[in-house]
Structure 1
Amino acid sequence: MESKKNKIHFLGAAGTVTGSKYLLDTGDKKIMIDCGLFQGLKELRLLNWEYPPIDVSAIDVVLLTHGHLDHTGYLPRLVKLGFNGPIYGTYPTMDIAKIILNDSAKIQEQEAERANKEGYSKHSPAEPLYDLKNVEKTIPHFKGVPPAQWIPLFEGIKVRFTYNGHIIGATYIELDVDGKRFVFSGDIGRINDLLLYPPIKPERADVLFIESTYGGRFHQEELEAIPLIEKLVNDTLSKGGSLFIPSFSVERAQLMMLIFWRLLKENKIPRVPMIMDSPMGANVLELFHRTRDWHKLEEKECDEMCSYFNVVSSYSETMELSADNKPKIVIAGSGMLTGGRMLNYLETQAQNPNNTLLFVGYQAEGTRGRKLLEGGKELKVYGKWVPFNMQVAEIEGLSAHADHTELLDWLSLINKKPERIFIVHGEKEEAEGLQKGIKETYNWDCDIPELYSIKEV
């Protein structure tokens, strides 16, 4: 009897970093792995508004590798378009997804409201992609599952979620379909991470999907980055400036808080106000307390650190702090400056050359963060162009993504050459860097699929 052919639809994070979405069609079942939002380039963001090239109502289930917006942010839109099945992920992933989706909807509502009030949108009226009511309708589909256990999904199909570092709750997904093993890497974490344990490596993959965010690059170790941060803080504060860190609210913000707190405790930086301005980050801090098995942070240190930081939740306090020119350290969303409260600070502080903007995470093509890193001298904030004179610094050693060497190492326990390998979640240069490395190290051939392509597997 001829074996059934499975088809995979590359609906996102193919040829680009954002919008992770893969649909596995087994003939009987349609399984979506991740359901992320496109970010960055305008032509990518516009895709969020288009009906995807599949029948949304025919999707049976969604499986989530982790809670980041580029892996979960399209879920309310999917439900709005007719998806009515369960959404599975680890318990922390589902908690993070709730926090992130509510935050995303709130920001979209606020931006649409401001655009309509100030008249800077081309659309009349400006509308959010989805709102808080859409998120409310999405949450009941969430089903938390334990890691490291095979869970039956359908007849002949089972799934397992395995610890992968990166952020709390993050996993890679193994799907067994009639004996064939599909492995979706999600985002792979670092081997030596201050907060998280090393990723657990897969041992079998017949069809492998591997991320390549930093596929062609090499990070320094996190511990090597700390003296650079110490110098940056001291240089900025000695000039009377402030240090601003746009940060992803999950794991990255908490890591930066920990680094600043330890430097302060060791008397390596001056005692200045330290602000964590992210309601979402505050909720994630609370989640850190509840998910002891997922990270290394001691409860006592977490408490001490939180008691020193001013964790801001109200918008009026953000506006007050953003107008204050006294030296301080501010961690605020969003990590790539695509939205969030850091924009309020930049609106008032971007013209001060004594201030420093420090990037500690990936900046996707087309984002404000990437443009400033590449030397941009102005940025658009809420429809207005703001001159940008701040110092800009980037520290890659703090990335939550594995680099070239770590990605190759993650593959080292796979005992038999996979039938197919697809390199995803990376811009062209990074994907090609990883493709070359895998060929040289393992002599395995890899495909780099294009967005919306369909492959038989």
Structure 2
Amino acid sequence: MKIQFLGAAGTVTGSKTLIESKGIRILIDCGLFQGNKEMRQHNWEPLPVLPSTIDFVLLTHGHLDHCGWLPLLVKQGFEGKIFCTSPTKAISRLILMDSAKIQEEEAEKANQEHYSKHIPAEPLYTVKQAEEVVPFFRVINVDTVFDLDAEISACYFSAGHILGACSIELTIEGKKLVFSGDIGRDNDDLMYAPEKPKTADYVFLESTYGDKLHPDNDPREELKQHINEAFEKGGNVVIPSFAVERAQAIMYLIWQLKKAGEIPDMPYIIDTPMGIKVIDIFEDNKEWHKLKLEDCREMCAIFSMITEYEDTIAAIYDDQPKVVIAASGMITGGRVLSYLERYIIRPETTVIIVGFQAEGTRGRKLLDGEKEIKMYGKYYPVAAKIVEIEGLSAHGDQDDLLNWLSQLDEKPKTVFLVHGETEALVALRDKIETRYDVNCEIPYQGQIVEIN
């Protein structure tokens, strides 16, 4: 059996792990690389194996860095099956359509304004190509073993994190390989705690926060403080947010604050069409989260929900204080850029960062104190107040990741650490080796590991 790390090796994006056994090829996740130009360039490169030779894709969840390369996989010849949970199918479809639409719009804008060196600039994939992925999805139930082949079976179990997110137990050549996917937090406001694996010969563990502990701060109190301060200055609050789970978690906290009378009466806007559609998925999948249906509807009632871009423009040019939640979470694209083009140059503006920011993204640059930010080929001076609320991440921290391994009945032969940056990977490796006395390895991009 061969395992090849085609993404999320030494970085947090582009998740792809290829397993080859007795002529069968299985891809765990099929995500986009995000971040700086060098990282994004990987998205244009072919896989080291022909997509037509891959038999199955097993998705852990529907975030772009785990499903966003599927249109290219299909375009380049994949004809197999894509297994996932029902919420993951719904979310992946939204994510892929949104990603394709943004890429088409940005290519068109680059061609109109001539800021791309590519003539013409082209999208990585189109909306039509994203739509062509959907027929390949096959929905499976959690905690149910299903066969991929006469000698290969798989089972999904809940990982928390977002709706539909799961870890995967793959039984192949008599060995159990467990892929964590992205692991949620044990004390999340909306999502249930992740389930822990009981047996594994080999573990492939995400390491996003492998070197960090989430603070004991109260995100609700921090959010209240920043909103009230911006209102008193007559400024706007812009919250770049991932459309899935994070946007809904922030909506939940704002609703709680508003209901308690702790933040002012002013417009509260959610401007992410995909995030709005995800609310419907929340309502359709009540068993996956803690939010009651009536609470979900009451929460939504306090927000102005923008879907049309004309309404986005109207909101941007309405200078009264407001709070806007807009995608994307790492400020790599989407409608949040339109708000920041107008507001980031104003000192009365507050930009609240609420999730992990990969290297090279605008979000990371803002957190690192960049004085200028480039959007659509132009540089904008950063005069806005940039703050971070760390307690809102949907990823487990170092303690959560260590605890996730705590119920294994026997030590695995190896734990492979993926989906993390160097410092996080090294710190988590040291902690795992110390606590569990188990072999722990950090694979590099493209590395092939043989399992006998």
- Give the match for residue 73 of structure 1: 68
1:262-281 matches, within 5 Å, as: 262-281=256-275
Match of 1:164 among 151, 156, 159: 159
| Structure 1, unpaired ranges of 5+ | 1-5
- Give the deviation of 1:28 after TM superposition: 2.0
Answer yes or no: is 1:220 the counterpart of 2:215: yes
Answer yes or no: is 1:123 the counterpart of 2:118: yes
Q: What is the alpha-carbon distance in structure 1 between the residues aligned to residue 173 and residue 5 of structure 2?
A: 22
- Give the match for residue 350 of structure 1: 344
- Give the match for residue 385 of structure 2: 391
- Give the deviation of 1:56 after TM superposition: 1.5
Match of 1:52 among 47, 54, 57: 47
What per-residue deviation string (whole Å, max 9, x for no partner) do you get for residues 178-232 of structure 1?
32100000000000010011001000110110000000100025x7221111111
Q: What is the alpha-carbon distance in structure 2 between the residues aligned to residue 395 and residue 341 of structure 1?
A: 21
**What is the TM-score of this pair, normalised by structure 1?**
0.98
Q: What letter corresponds to residue 38 of structure 1 in structure 2? A: F
| Structure 2, unpaired ranges of 5+ | none
- Give the deviation of 1:378 after TM superposition: 1.3
SS in 2 for 1:451: coil
Match of 2:245 among 217, 241, 251: 251
SS in 2 for 1:35: coil
Q: What is the alpha-carbon distance in structure 2 between the residues aligned to residue 312 and residue 179 of structure 1?
A: 51
- Give the match for residue 325 of structure 2: 331
SS in 2 for 1:432: helix
- Give the match for residue 435 of structure 1: 429
- Give the match for residue 201 of structure 2: 206
What per-residue deviation string (whole Å, max 9, x for no partner) do you get for residues 388-432 of structure 1?
110011111110000001100000001111112100000000001
Q: What letter corresponds to residue 184 of structure 2 in structure 1? A: G
- Give the match for residue 284 of structure 1: 278
Paired residues, what number?
451
SS in 2 for 1:88: strand
- Give the deviation of 1:94 after TM superposition: 0.5
Q: What letter corresponds to residue 165 of structure 2 in structure 1? A: A
Answer yes or no: is 1:407 the counterpart of 2:401: yes
Q: Do the aligned residues in 1 keep the contact of 2:196 with 2:407 (CA within 8 Å)? A: yes
- Give the deviation of 1:27 after TM superposition: 2.6
SS in 2 for 1:133: helix
**What is the TM-score of this pair, normalised by structure 2?**
0.99
Q: Do the aligned residues in 1 keep the contact of 2:9 with 2:419 (CA within 8 Å)? A: yes
What per-residue deviation string (whole Å, max 9, x for no partner) do you get for residues 419-449 of structure 1?
1210000000000111011011111121100
Q: What letter corresponds to residue 149 of structure 2 in structure 1? A: F
SS in 1 for 2:167: strand
- Give the match for residue 95 of structure 1: 90
Q: What is the alpha-carbon distance in structure 1 between the residues aligned to residue 396 and residue 318 of structure 2?
A: 37
Q: What is the alpha-carbon root mean square deviation over aligned residues?
A: 0.8
Q: What is the alpha-carbon distance in structure 1 between the residues aligned to residue 55 and residue 49 of structure 2?
A: 13
- Give the match for residue 422 of structure 1: 416
Q: Do the aligned residues in 1 keep the contact of 2:413 with 2:439 (CA within 8 Å)? A: no
Match of 2:57 among 56, 59, 62: 62
Q: Do the aligned residues in 1 keep the contact of 2:161 with 2:185 (CA within 8 Å)? A: yes
Q: What is the alpha-carbon distance in structure 1 between the residues aligned to residue 211 and residue 344 of structure 2?
A: 32
Q: What is the alpha-carbon distance in structure 2 between the residues aligned to residue 452 and residue 54 of structure 1?
A: 11
Q: What is the alpha-carbon distance in structure 2 between the residues aligned to residue 247 and residue 346 of structure 1?
A: 13
What per-residue deviation string (whole Å, max 9, x for no partner) do you get for residues 239-296 of structure 1?
1111110000000000000100110000111111000000100110010000000000
1:307-322 matches, within 5 Å, as: 307-322=301-316
Q: What is the alpha-carbon distance in structure 1 between the residues aligned to residue 20 and residue 340 of structure 2?
A: 45
Q: What is the alpha-carbon distance in structure 2 between the residues aligned to residue 11 and residue 27 of structure 1?
A: 20
SS in 1 for 2:34: coil
SS in 1 for 2:29: strand
